[in-house]
Each structure stands twice: as structure tokens, then as C-alpha cells.
Amino acid sequence: MGIFDFLRKGPQNTASVAKNRLTILIQEERDRSGRGVPDYLPLLRRELLEVIRKFVNVDANAIDVKTHKDGDQDVLELSIALPDKASPIAGRA
């Protein structure tokens, strides 16, 4: 039976199989959504703007969030156009 054991595959680790399937599903979702842009990006942009507005008065168009690939890494790039002179926020002094 030793030769048959050699030809037979051993039991697969279910965690690694699940991880591989999830990786494939995530990649397919990114491909379907176009350009690989994550679905959470608009929400992230809104929440970042809310946090920034707690400290500085900025326009809604003042924040620019982009993602791109750098080799095998996803990069999140955040650009904020801050005013020349910070105006105080009500309740903060």
C-alpha cells in the first residue's frame, strides 16, 4: 500500500483552502468593480473629510483619495488642500 499512499494526495488544510478561495473572491470583486478600486473608498473619503473639518475649515473638494499598485502592494494616496490661514472652528480655541 506504500506506493498508493505516495500517489494519493494528503488531506488539505481547510484553513488554507478557505484563505485561497477568499483571496480569489476578493480579486474577482476588485476586477468587477473596475480599476481595482475598493468599494469602501467613498466612505473613507467622507469620514476623513469629517475628521479634518473638526480642526480646519476645508472644502469638500479639498481632499483627494487615490489607490494604485506599487509592485505587489496596494497604495492609498491622500492629498488634502489646506487653506493658507487656518480659521478657528467653533468650540475650539
- Measured CA to CA, the distance from residue 42 to residue 62 in angstroms comes to 14
Name the pTM for this structure: 0.45
Encode pLDDT of 40-88 as tens digits: 777 887 888 888 888 888 888 878 878 777 887 778 888 888 877 756 5
CATH 3.30.1070 fits 14-80, yes or no: yes
Q: Quote the pLDDT of residue 85.
A: 74
3-class SS letters over the chain: CHHHHHHCCCCCCHHHHHHHHHHHHHHHHHHHHCCCCCCCHHHHHHHHHHHHHCCCCCCHHHEEEEEEEECCEEEEEEEECCCCCCCCCCCCC
Higher pLDDT, 64 or 13: 64
